[in-house]
Amino acid sequence: MDGAKTVRLVLGDQLNPQHSWFAEVDRDVVYVLMEVRQETDYVLHHAQKILAIFAAMRDFARYLLAQGHRVHYLSIDDASNTQSVTGNLAALAQRYEAIRVEWQSADEWRLDAQLRAWAANQSLTTHEADTEHFMTGRHDLATMFAGRKQWLMERFYRDMRRRHHVLLDDNGNPEGGQWNFDRDNRKPWRGTPSEPVDARPSHDHRDLWATLERSGVKSFGDPQAAQFRWPLNRAEALACLEAFVVQTLPHFGDFEDAMSSTSPRLFHSLLSFALNVKMLSPREVIVRVEAAYREGGAPLSAVEGFIRQILGWREYVRGIYWAHMPGYESCNALDHQAPLPSWFWSGNTQMRCLQLAIGQSLQTAHAHHIQRLMVIGNFALLAGIAPAEVHRWYLGVYIDAFEWVELPNTVGMSQWADGGRIATKPYVSSAAYLSRMSDYCKGCHYDSKQRVGERACPYNALYWDFFMRHAAVFDRNPRLAMVYRQLANMPAEALDALRAHAASLRARLETL
């Protein structure tokens, strides 16, 4: 085999054909993509997540070959595969007699540390290139908030709007006279307008799935290998973006927080997988969505709400991740220690909201942000489940979950395990919120209006008990003043009943 001066590593979440690496064909460069057990096994992953990444990698390798680049692809069942990223890099550098190894910055701390440690012990030249994807540097957020106790996303978001001139008028002020239209985006969905047709492509991955099974790769969830509905390349991702902007974005804002047992997608974009493996860039998504507003295709509240997720929250949590790693994954400010109930892996619970949200996650490898935060995460926090176990489940179950984005969302936003570095208050609710924003409570074994008793919704007693158990942490929080006023006005016997019922629920989570 002909040698090559340079070996370049392309990770499974770096499938960006617009990266400057690929602007010119150089026969002295070999691009390496690898399917490794190191990445399938560090946490138990949903079957569709493994299929999506490997299938997209294979598609990307074919694309590079068609463009004239040299590619070395290591499949999961290749006899020469060491099943380690750096093990394979070392072997291939030797095989090609390379004098230089390059990689794009790994977005997960463990891989970043692994590659840097490996490079430090090499005699050949190594180089780390930028992914050219994000709109901020890893440490920009830490620099902005240096010396501040709390790093408020809203301040960061406004700065990003100004810096990139997004949704500003000619005078540099926010369109519509305000920065945030979140209050306009909290409508429940009652069946109209109709959920749009699923515009995502369909693929048959039965052969790849058979290879994964033969190779002993462990997973969970429904692989849906015969009718796989996620984009595998940039062209398909762009088509999904366009379909979202034209068909779905106009209603996204109104029903951003809504949940439905009959329409799990509602008006969400489902673009996060394509974004997080870099088929799409955040900049081009923002430009296209803002253009829809400028051209009269979508209301400002919908456009601002969506852009806030990409320009604000996505870049913000990445900054949180790099500012607090390593160690952020071990945060447990409330000392929650309960094990994750086994029904998180099956959906077999009598609580209909969790049955539906977890069941959807297991079937499709996706749930939108309110299902993740206010149904699943809400219960986990109220029940006192160990945040590290919640983190590993979220990281494994969702197709768009890479640690840089998932960990702050789970440990910080959802479980308040970081002690409020992200969230100014815990995101918890009783059944009233779930009943208002969804149809999940209809037909449930439990009664959303009852606080105690055999058929009382577990969220209710757990909610009040959570604030009683953690009063030392939260009772001086101004955003929770009303909660503690309500508790102060409850009769002692009512408080005792809530405590007793909550304790009983926490002692038998497996049976709920």
Give all domains of the chain, ordered by start, each with its CATH number. 6-129 (3.40.50.620), 139-217+231-324 (1.25.40.80), 342-511 (1.10.579.10)
**How many whole angstroms separate alpha carbon 145 and alpha carbon 81?**
44
Q: Note the pLDDT of residue 1.
A: 56
**How many whole angstroms separate alpha carbon 245 and alpha carbon 298?**
8
**How many whole angstroms separate alpha carbon 168 and alpha carbon 161?**
8
Q: What is the 3-state secondary structure (H, E, C) of 412-455?
A: HHHCCCCCCCCCCCCCCCCHHHHHHHCCCCCCCCCECCCCCCCC
Taking CA atoms, 281 is separated from 102, 134, 284, in Å, by 22, 8, 6
**Digit-coded pLDDT (tens) for 1-38:** 588 899 999 999 999 999 999 999 999 999 999 999 99
Cβ atoms of 355 and 174 closer than 8 Å: no
**Digit-coded pLDDT (tens) for 483-511:** 999 999 999 999 999 999 999 999 999 99
The CB density around residue 130, as the number of other CB atoms within 10 Å, is 12
Cβ atoms of 111 and 405 closer than 8 Å: no
**Burial of 300 (C-beta count, 10 Å sphere; 0-12/13-18/19+):** middle
Q: 7 by DSSP, 3-state: which?
A: strand
- With a cut of 90, say whether residue 109 has pLDDT above it: yes
**How many whole angstroms separate alpha carbon 314 and alpha carbon 404?**
10
Phi, psi of 148 (to 5 degrees): -100, 140
**How many whole angstroms separate alpha carbon 497 and alpha carbon 158?**
45
Q: Note the pLDDT of residue 73.
A: 98
**Digit-coded pLDDT (tens) for 289-299:** 999 999 999 99
| Pairing verdict, β 6-9 and 100-104 | parallel
**How many whole angstroms separate alpha carbon 161 and alpha carbon 159?**
5
- What single-letter DSSP state applies at residue 379? H
**How many whole angstroms separate alpha carbon 189 and alpha carbon 22?**
45
Q: Taking residues 153-170, report their average pLDDT.
A: 96
Q: Considering just the CA atoms, what is the radius of gyration of the chain in Å?
A: 24
Q: Note the pLDDT of residue 2.
A: 82
Q: 9 by DSSP, 3-state: which?
A: strand
**Digit-coded pLDDT (tens) for 272-312:** 999 999 999 999 999 999 999 999 999 999 999 999 999 99
How many residues in the chain? 512
The CB density around residue 452, as the number of other CB atoms within 10 Å, is 18
Q: Note the pLDDT of residue 147.
A: 87
Q: 219 by DSSP, 3-state: which?
A: strand
Q: Taking residues 164-175, report their average pLDDT.
A: 96
- Higher per-residue pLDDT: 230 or 147: 230
Return left, alpha or beta for 172; rule: phi > 0 is left, psi -120 to 50 is alpha, else beta: left
Percent of the chain with pLDDT over 90: 96
Cβ atoms of 326 and 422 closer than 8 Å: no
**How many whole angstroms separate alpha carbon 383 and alpha carbon 502?**
9
**Residue 392 confidence class, pLDDT cut points 50, 70, 90:** very high
Q: 326 by DSSP, 3-state: which?
A: coil
Which amino acid would we find at residue 140? D
Mean pLDDT of the chain: 96
**Digit-coded pLDDT (tens) for 301-349:** 999 999 999 999 999 999 999 999 999 999 999 999 999 999 999 999 9
Identify the residue whose tokens are 């209809």.
Answer: 442
Taking CA atoms, 136 is separated from 139, 161, 275, 276, in Å, by 8, 12, 15, 15
Q: Note the pLDDT of residue 234.
A: 98
- What single-letter DSSP state applies at residue 218? -
